């Protein structure tokens, strides 16, 4: 390995990668991260990731107690929940995030069976969906909204549903 400098960066152990590149800049990790290359927490390698989480952007919950949940969100949390469909409520937060409540008669997101679902905002939904599929995740979507936003739901190793979302 020491003499072979032709391996792609993602295949080089971290100690070799840093030794090969350390003379180029003292802040190599910042350059790598800005290029989408991150340290793997489980090995000494840097790996290229397609999915880059920007922030939390959405939470949705399917519940048998939808009306009570909406009343609680409104009266206790101060959310301005708006009824959008039968057994479906929506609220846009000041930062652009969204809260949605799905009651038992709502036809949307029937696969939400594991509790509240959290949505992570990313830049590229197609790349995110492809990365999830490469990782072997069960993927639902992607779906597109009229405003140009898009999202994909996926089942993580813990069996719960999560979301990647790209805003318009």
Q: What is the pLDDT of residues 19-65, one digit of tens each?
A: 444 444 445 655 555 555 555 555 556 555 567 888 889 999 999 99
Whole-prediction pTM: 0.63
Is the domain of 97 the same as that of 162? yes
Is the domain of 31 the same as that of 16? yes
In a domain, 2, yes or no: no
Is the domain of 40 the same as that of 15? yes
Position 160 scores a pLDDT of: 87
Q: Residue 35 sits in which domain range?
A: 9-48
Please answer whether residues 57 and 96 qualify as being in contact, where contact means their C-beta atoms are separated by less than 8 angstroms. Answer: yes
Contacts of 24 (CB under 8 A, 6+ apart): none
CA 117/CA 61 separation, integer angstroms: 6
Domain total of the chain: 2
Is the domain of 84 the same as that of 24? no
């Amino acid at each position: 390995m020491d003499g072979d400098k032709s391996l792609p960066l993602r295949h080089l152990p971290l100690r070799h990668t840093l030794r090969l590149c350390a003379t180029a800049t003292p802040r190599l990790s910042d350059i790598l991260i800005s290029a989408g290359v991150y340290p793997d927490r489980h090995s000494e390698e840097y790996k290229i990731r397609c999915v880059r989480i920007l922030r939390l952007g959405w939470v949705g919950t399917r519940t048998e107690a939808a009306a009570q949940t909406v009343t609680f969100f409104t009266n206790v949390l101060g959310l301005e929940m708006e009824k959008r469909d039968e057994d479906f409520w929506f609220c846009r937060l000041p930062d652009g995030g969204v809260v949605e409540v799905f009651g038992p008669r709502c036809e949307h997101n029937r696969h939400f069976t594991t509790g509240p679902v959290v949505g992570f905002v990313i830049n590229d939904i197609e790349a995110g969906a492809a990365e999830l599929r490469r990782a072997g995740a069960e993927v639902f979507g992607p779906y597109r909204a009229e405003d140009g936003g898009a999202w994909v739901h996926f089942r993580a190793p813990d069996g719960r549903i999560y979301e990647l979302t790209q805003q318009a």
